[in-house]
Amino acid sequence: MGNYFARHLQVLIASLGKLRVAPVASLLTILVVAITLSLPAALHVVIKNALLVSGGWQGAVDFSLYLQPDIDEGGAANLAKLLESRADILQVTLINADAALEEFAASSGFGDALDALSENPLPHTLVVRPIASLNAEASALLKQELSSLPETDIVQLDTEWVSRFQAILKLVRRAVWLAAGMLAIALLVVIGNTIRLDIQNRRDEIEIMQLVGASDGFIRRPFLYTGFWYGLGGGVLALAVIALATQMLRGPVAELASLYGGGWTLRGLDMREMGIVVTTGIALGLFGSWFATARHMRRIDPK
Amino acid sequence: MIRFDNVSKRYPGGHDALRNLTLDIDRGELVFVTGHSGAGKSTLLRLIGLIERPTRGQLLIDKRSTRGVKRRGLPAYRRDIGMVFQDHKLLFDRTVFDNVALPLVIAGVGHRETGRRVRAALDQVDLLRKEKQLPETLSSGEQQRVGIARAIVGRPKILIADEPTGNLDPELSLGIMNLFERFQEIGVTLLIASHDVALIGALGHRRITLADGELQSDSNAPIDQEEAFTF
């Protein structure tokens, strides 16, 4: 049994040595594998970060505070000033009920119908913008406090657009999965084709091995290991490409984040995701070469 | 050991390479197969190596029909048969040692045992000093001997050789044939195809002559030894 593994190890190392015989062709194949793997992985990084950032936005969006109808404009302005003095609130904007009605009449097209109303049905509204660093928990607490004010009728949190944005991101993420699936098929074809050429170039060698009693499995082994190295090499190179890209973007992203007062930084691939990229590369490499050998080996018979 | 039972071989295209050949070869025999080119010598050997299959009739090796040997069984079957080719069929990117070791590596023989047996085989063909060289750096005769060492290293029961002295000078040819005679002494059954009638006559073993795919003569009678040595 130890002997068996020793032989496999020997072929594994030998097939790595074979790559050195045609370094340019091998490197090109590895490069193609790396690019094909890094495309979906990079998109994944982008989406992951966008979700993280937009998740942070959940707590930092504006509240719409609809006041009781009996609160007049002066009372609303006083409340606005009072709220603005709180530490967790950045800014409060008063939207006058008459101004709101005018704007609504202009933008909705219900102008004539609204004219028929004897009085303005809209209350005065305060748009409360909390500080950017407010987390979801504190935000919920703030909402509760605002609701319990005697002047308040309804508090609305404007998170709908964030939810929509996240829904879109999730849709895009699904599309990335689909693209990744197609790229995986392309990768199988690329690796399979490289191995096929390799088999053709070594046709004489394969025939000789068959004549001295080599089984298909024995002949196949070095080709499978070649596929393994293509996958491993491509996977590791893809990780390097992504690491380089995130490193290059880290500075500008931090700058952007500080402009928006956010404390978030760009996150690259974590260990689990790195493992997935490399494992996928290896699996596709093995499968591609397995497929190519299964298809083309049988056609070779010694003459 | 080897029995051709009314064997015919027709290649695609209609050429009859062998016609109704019936032949018995005992264990430990050394048999020469002669005849003009195209007479069917190579086909006869290729049938034994299962590189070709009979169109009609059957071939029995060790009393067992080769019909039962399917593609999956070919490797195991071929490990019992050493083959020497006119064009040597060596791997040119591997050393002499690695070429000879190939059948043992395939059979999964251990590292130490492989080294021992490869050196024994190379010693027999007198190439021990060249084990680290690549085949390209060897002469044609030496390459042929590497091929022979590879054929015998797995200790086959049967050794078939197709024109092993095809492009060697008479002295080297005789050396190779003497080598085959030594294998016969240790019990290997040998079939050697050759058109070198003079050399075969001088050695005096059983001789099968094919003509146009048919058995023309099968003679055990050795040619007069004294006459033979005048070649």
- Encode pLDDT of A38-83 as tens digits: 999 999 998 888 888 776 665 557 788 888 888 888 888 888 888 8
The pLDDT assigned to B116 comes to 96
| Bridge partners, B211 (sequence order) | B214
CA dist., res. B168 & res. B175, Å (int): 10
Q: What angle do CA B51, B57, B58 make, to 5 degrees?
A: 55
Contact in structure between B127 and B50 (CB atoms under 8 Å): no
Q: Which residues contact A286 (CB under 8 A, 6 or more apart)?
A: A224, A227, A228, A231
* Confidence band for B230, pLDDT divided at 50, 70 and 90: very low
C-alpha A204 chain-centroid distance = 48
CA dist., res. B118 & res. B141, Å (int): 19
Between B50 and A103, residue with greater pLDDT: B50
- Token reading at A301: 């018979």
CA dist., res. A126 & res. B154, Å (int): 94
Between A57 and B191, residue with greater pLDDT: B191
CB contact under 8 A, B75 and A215: yes
A14 touches chain B (CB under 8 A): no
CB contact under 8 A, B49 and A211: yes
Other beta carbons within 10 angstroms of residue A35's beta carbon come to: 15
Nearest CA in chain A to B47: A303
C-alpha A59 chain-centroid distance = 21
A294 touches chain B (CB under 8 A): no
pLDDT of A26 > 60? The answer is yes
Q: pTM to 2 decimals?
A: 0.72
A303 vs B contacts (CB less than 8 Å)? 51
CB contact under 8 A, A215 and B108: no
Contact in structure between A282 and A33 (CB atoms under 8 Å): no
The pLDDT assigned to A151 comes to 84
What are the backbone dihedrals phi and psi of residue B10, each rounded to the nearest 5 degrees, phi first?
-120, 125
CA dist., res. A295 & res. A291, Å (int): 6
Mutant choice from B83, B106, B109, B162 vs A, greatest count of A C-beta within 10 A = B106
CB contact under 8 A, A209 and B78: no
Of the candidates B176, B116, B174, which has an alpha carbon nearest to the alpha carbon of residue B142?
B176
B89 touches chain A (CB under 8 A): yes
In chain A, pLDDT over 90 holds for what percent of residues? 30
pLDDT of B231 > 50? The answer is no
Cα distances (angstroms) measured from residue A293 to each of A190, A207, A221, A224, A226? 14, 14, 9, 8, 11
CA dist., res. A143 & res. A45, Å (int): 33
CB contact under 8 A, A205 and B103: no
CA dist., res. B183 & res. B82, Å (int): 12
CA dist., res. A75 & res. A150, Å (int): 12
* Confidence band for A183, pLDDT divided at 50, 70 and 90: very high
- Mean per-residue pLDDT of chain A: 84
The pLDDT assigned to B225 comes to 46
CA dist., res. A56 & res. A130, Å (int): 13
Least confident of A98-107, B13-22, B202-211: A98-107
Q: Which residues contact A192 (CB under 8 A, 6 or more apart)?
A: A288, A289, A291, A292, A295
CB contact under 8 A, A214 and B74: no
The pLDDT assigned to B221 comes to 46
- Token reading at A151: 């002047």
A103 touches chain B (CB under 8 A): no
C-alpha A259 chain-centroid distance = 23
* Confidence band for B226, pLDDT divided at 50, 70 and 90: very low
Place of tokens 């290059």: A248
Nearest CA in chain B to A302: B51
Q: What ipTM is given for this predicted complex?
A: 0.87
* Confidence band for B229, pLDDT divided at 50, 70 and 90: very low
CA dist., res. B20 & res. B55, Å (int): 10
B161 vs A contacts (CB less than 8 Å)? none
Of the candidates A89, A260, A206, which has an alpha carbon nearest to the alpha carbon of residue B102?
A206
pLDDT of A193 > 60? The answer is yes
The pLDDT assigned to B77 comes to 93
- Token reading at A269: 């691939």
A301 vs B contacts (CB less than 8 Å)? 51
Q: In terms of C-beta distances under 8 Å and separation of at least 24 residues, what long-range contacts does A201-208 make, across chains too?
A: A203/A300, A204/B89, A205/B91, A206/A297, A206/A300, A207/A300, A207/A301, A207/A302, A207/A303, A207/B89, A208/A302, A208/B89, A208/B90, A208/B91, A208/B102
CB contact under 8 A, B110 and A211: no
pLDDT of A279 > 80? The answer is yes
Place of tokens 């050394």: B30
B75/chain A closest Cα distance in angstroms:
4
CB contact under 8 A, A215 and B106: yes
pLDDT of B227 > 70? The answer is no
What are the backbone dihedrals phi and psi of residue B160, each rounded to the nearest 5 degrees, phi first?
-115, 140
B51 touches chain A (CB under 8 A): yes
| Bridge partners, B9 (sequence order) | B18
pLDDT of B222 > 50? The answer is no
What count of Cα atoms within 13 Å lies in the side-chain half-sphere of residue A46?
11
Q: Which residues contact A258 (CB under 8 A, 6 or more apart)?
A: none
What count of Cα atoms within 13 Å lies in the side-chain half-sphere of residue B12?
1
The pLDDT assigned to A58 comes to 55
pLDDT of B48 > 50? The answer is yes
| Bridge partners, B162 (sequence order) | B193
Helices (H), chain B: 41-48, 74-78, 96-107, 111-124, 140-153, 170-185, 197-203, 225-228
In chain B, pLDDT over 70 holds for what percent of residues? 95
B187/chain A closest Cα distance in angstroms:
20
DSSP state of A270: -
B30-34 vs B206-211, strand pairing mode: parallel
B89 vs A contacts (CB less than 8 Å)? 204, 207-208, 211
The pLDDT assigned to B97 comes to 95
| Out of B51, B110, B150, closest to residue A212 by CB | B150
Scanning B149-178 for CB atoms below 8 A from A yields: 150, 154
CB contact under 8 A, A211 and B108: no
* Confidence band for A303, pLDDT divided at 50, 70 and 90: low
- Token reading at B23: 């032949």
- Mean per-residue pLDDT of chain B: 89
Q: What is the pLDDT of residues A124-179, one digit of tens each?
A: 888 888 887 777 677 778 888 888 888 888 888 766 677 788 788 889 989 999 99
B108 touches chain A (CB under 8 A): yes
CA dist., res. A248 & res. A254, Å (int): 11
Mutant choice from B42, B48, B50, B51 vs A, greatest count of A C-beta within 10 A = B51
Q: What is the pLDDT of residues B111-145, one digit of tens each?
A: 899 999 999 999 989 899 999 999 999 998 899 99
Nearest CA in chain B to A219: B106
What would the mean pLDDT of B60-67 be, rounded to a whole number? 92
Which amino acid, one-letter code, is at A195?
I
CB contact under 8 A, A214 and B89: no
